[in-house]
Amino acid sequence: MTEEQDDIFESMPIISPTVSNNDVGTTPHNHNLNHNHSHSHDHGTNIEDINHSDSSSSITSNSEIQNLKIEEKRRLLPDILPKVQCIARARIPTTQGPEIFLHLYSNDMDKKEHLAIVFGEDIRSRSLYKFRKDETQSDRMIRGAYVGKLYPGRKNADFDKSTNMKLEFDKESGDLIIDSKTTWCNPTLVRIHSECYTGETAWSARCDCGEQFDEAGRLMGLQGHGCIVYLRQEGRGIGLGEKLKAYNLQDLGADTVQANLLLRHPADKRSFGMATAILLDLGLLEIKLLTNNPDKIIAVEGKNRLIKVTERVPMVPLAWKGEEGGVKSTEVEGYLRTKVEKMGHLLSKPI
């Protein structure tokens, strides 16, 4: 810890569960809404700044961003979406029952492998099916650009004898022709999930990420239709190493927002343009979004609203509903409380 951080820590108030919203404006969060401006808390901050952000400074001060109206928040989104390409798709039988099609994407903005977990054979990636130079039918099957089911000895990617399913392509562009009558894609149930190694793999009870992931899959499995866009933005975009430091700060008394700010990160460093681009590629233009985060809705719709969220489907923690399998801990209660009190999440605990 630097001397400066030490001072910050010294001056950090004890975080009480009843911390008032008024102290923090409504919140330091979702800096991702504004990529084009510098962030007032990105470079050195102290707890006093966090609690009394100066509204006269720049448009990007935390409390101002939180108070922006929907149209203003939309205006701050980036103009350009990443260019994405589905590199490979494969059928995954799951331990839970339903089969999924895992789509792996590359993009022109980062080197990460973002994913789409697709429930339903009718949801098709435009970039996956597009013909590539000199490729054979076998090449197409190997990268997952086939219709129906694969079986030993199958020769043709575009026609499946076993199901009589056939793909049609535009002769000039080579693009897949999608008959909207044969699909029931829109509006499709969608979850946009940000990577959480601790919650999904290391059984962490600090957050409900693993539970939310499972619940989204369960609901989509029941419907036999849906899509989880899985973005590699661990720790709200700060990465796993920094998230672990944030956890230590939380054990030392900070809440999730303060911990990020003390580490000189925005409260939320994520962006959702990648999700918008992936949904467009999959033709999921109208979606029912599983989330409690109103800013995620604005962010995924994007500046030009190429995607429309027709409905928000709340994600109520299972423990709050008195259901089995929910995450229970003092840490997760604090995590959820901070989401509600400081990040504007639409979630209230039943009394």
Size of the site for ligand GTP (CB under 6 A): 24
CB-wise, 70 or 90, nearer to ligand GTP? 70
**Burial status of residue 290 (CB atoms within 10 A of its CB: 0-12, 13-18, 19 or more):** buried
342 lies in the binding site for ligand GTP (CB under 6 A): no
Which one of 158, 160, 268, 281 is the catalytic residue? Answer: 268
Q: Which one of 96-104, 166-174, 227-235, 273-281 is the stretch in contact with ligand GTP (CB under 6 A)?
A: 227-235
CA angle 333, 312, 29 (to 5 degrees): 50
Residue 168: phi, psi to the nearest 5?
A: -115, 145
65, 118, 190, 246: which one binds ligand GTP (CB under 6 A): 246
Q: Which of 19, 145 has the CB closer to ligand GTP?
A: 19
Is 260 a binding residue for ligand GTP by CB under 6 A? The answer is: yes
Q: Does the protein bind ligand GTP through residue 256 (CB under 6 A)? A: yes
Indicate the residue among 19 and 246 with the shorter CB distance to ligand GTP: 246
The CB-of-222 to ligand GTP minimum distance in angstroms stands at 19
Is residue 63 near ligand GTP by the rule CB under 6 A? no
Sequence-separated (6 or more) residues with CB below 8 Å from residue 13? 47, 51
What SS3 class is residue 234? Answer: helix
Residue 315 contacts ligand GTP per CB under 6 A: yes
Q: Which amino acid is at 107?
A: N
Residue 12 vs 128, nearer CB to ligand GTP: 12
Whether 268 is catalytic: yes
Do residues 285 and 315 touch, judged by C-beta distance below 8 A? no
What's the CA gap between 346 and 243, in Å, rounded? 24
CA atoms within 13 A on the CB side of 351: 0
Which burial class, exposed, middle or buried, applies to 348 when counting CB atoms under 10 A from its CB (0-12, 13-18, 19+)? exposed
Smallest distance, ligand GTP to C-beta of residue 102, A: 19
Structure tokens at 281: 């590629």
Query: Per the residue annotation, which of 143, 206, 270, 337 is the catalytic one?
Result: 270
- Letter for the amino acid at 190? V
Instruction: Specify the residue, 160 or 234, whose C-beta has the smaller distance to ligand GTP.
Output: 234
The alpha carbon dihedral of 7, 25, 192, 113 has a sign of negative
- Indicate whether 258 belongs to the interface with ligand GTP (CB under 6 A): no
**Would you call 91 a catalytic residue per the annotation?**
no
Stretch that binds ligand GTP, among 118-126, 159-167, 230-238, 274-282 (CB under 6 A): 230-238
Question: What's the alpha-carbon Rg for the chain, to the nearest Å?
Answer: 22
Q: Please report whether residue 261 would count as binding ligand GTP according to CB under 6 A.
A: no
Residues β-bridged to residue 225: none
- Between 234 and 341, whose beta carbon lies closer to ligand GTP? 234
Smaller CB separation from ligand GTP, 25 or 317: 317
Q: How far is the CB of 91 from ligand GTP (least distance, A)?
A: 26
x/- contact string, 171-210, with ligand GTP (CB under 6 A)?
----------------------xxxx----------x-x-
Among 293, 297, 299, 301, binds ligand GTP (CB under 6 A): 293
Tell the residue number behind the tokens 């990577």, with chain if given: 195
Distance CA 200, CA 70 (A): 31
Task: Measure the CA–CA gap between 302 and 74, rounded to whole angstroms.
Answer: 7
Contacts of 203 (CB under 8 A, 6+ apart): 210
Q: Active-site residue numbers?
A: 268, 270
Binding positions for ligand GTP, rule: CB under 6 A: 193-196, 207, 209, 212, 233-236, 238, 243, 246, 256, 260, 291-293, 296, 315, 335, 339, 345
